[in-house]
Amino acid sequence: MITSVAVIVLPGLSPFEFGVVCEVFALDRSGLGVGLPAFDFRVCTPEPGLLPTSAGFSVSVEHDLSAARGVDLLVMAPFHTASPPPQPVIDLLRETDARGGRILSVCEGALTLAAAGILDGRRATTHWMHSQRMAADFPLIEVDENVLYVEDGNIITSAGTAAGIDACLHLIRSEFGTKAASAIARGMVVPPHREGGQLQFIDRPVHAPGDAGMGPLLSWMSGHLTQDLGVAELADRMHMSERNFARRFKAETGATPAAWVVSQRLLRARSLLEDTEASVDEVARLSGFGQAVLLRHHFQRALGTSPAAYRRLFRGRERTNRSAAGAL
Strands 40-44 and 49-52 turn out to be: unpaired
What is the distance of C-alpha 108 from the center of its chain? 15
Indicate the domain borders of the chain. 4-187, 204-254, 259-327
Phi-psi region of 288 (alpha: psi -120 to 50; beta: other; left: phi over 0): left
Long-range Cβ contact pairs of 164-170 (< 8 A, separation 24 or more) = 164/17, 164/20, 164/21, 164/106, 164/107, 165/20, 165/24, 165/190, 166/193, 166/194, 167/104, 167/106, 168/20, 168/21, 168/24, 168/25, 168/104, 169/24, 169/193
Query: Cβ atoms within 10 A of the Cβ of 165, count?
Result: 25
**DSSP string covering 83-134, please?**
SPPPHHHHHHHHHHHHTT-EEEE-TTHHHHHHHTTTTTTSEE---HHHHHHH
What whole-number percentage of the chain has pLDDT above 90?
A: 64
Residues shown for the chain? 328
Angle at 144 between CA 109 and CA 158, to 5 degrees: 35
Measured over all CA atoms, what is the biggest interatomic distance in the chain, rounded to whole angstroms?
60
pLDDT of residue 204: 31
Angle at 57 between CA 53 and CA 59, to 5 degrees: 70
Band (203; pLDDT cuts 50, 70, 90) = very low
pLDDT of residue 196: 55
Question: Is the CB of residue 104 less than 8 Å from the CB of residue 158?
Answer: yes
Band (155; pLDDT cuts 50, 70, 90) = very high
Q: Which fold has domain 4-187?
A: Rossmann fold (3.40.50)
pLDDT of residue 178: 85
Rounded to an integer, what distance in angstroms lies between the CA atom of residue 103 and that of residue 71?
10
Residue 132, pLDDT > 90, answer no
pLDDT of residue 323: 47
Band (195; pLDDT cuts 50, 70, 90) = low
CA-wise closest residue to 30 among 40, 45, 19, 18: 40
**Predicted TM-score (pTM) above 0.75:** no
Residue 50, pLDDT > 90, answer yes
User: Which whole number is the average pLDDT over 144-157?
Assistant: 90
Question: Is the CB of residue 7 less than 8 Å from the CB of residue 44?
Answer: yes
Rounded to an integer, what distance in angstroms lies between the CA atom of residue 61 and that of residue 249?
44
Question: Is the CB of residue 295 less than 8 Å from the CB of residue 315?
Answer: no
What does the pLDDT look like over 241-276, one tens digit per residue? 999 999 888 888 878 899 899 989 998 998 899 889
**DSSP string covering 126-164, please?**
--HHHHHHHHHH-TTSEE-TTSSEEEETTEEEE-STTHH
pLDDT of residue 328: 46
Band (318; pLDDT cuts 50, 70, 90) = low
Q: What is the mean pLDDT of the chain?
A: 88
Dihedral over alpha carbons 177, 182, 184, 185 (to 10 degrees)? 140
pLDDT of residue 109: 95
Question: Is the CB of residue 183 less than 8 Å from the CB of residue 173?
Answer: no
Query: Cα dihedral sign for 245, 246, 250, 255?
Result: positive
Looking at domain 259-327, which CATH architecture does it have? Orthogonal Bundle (1.10)
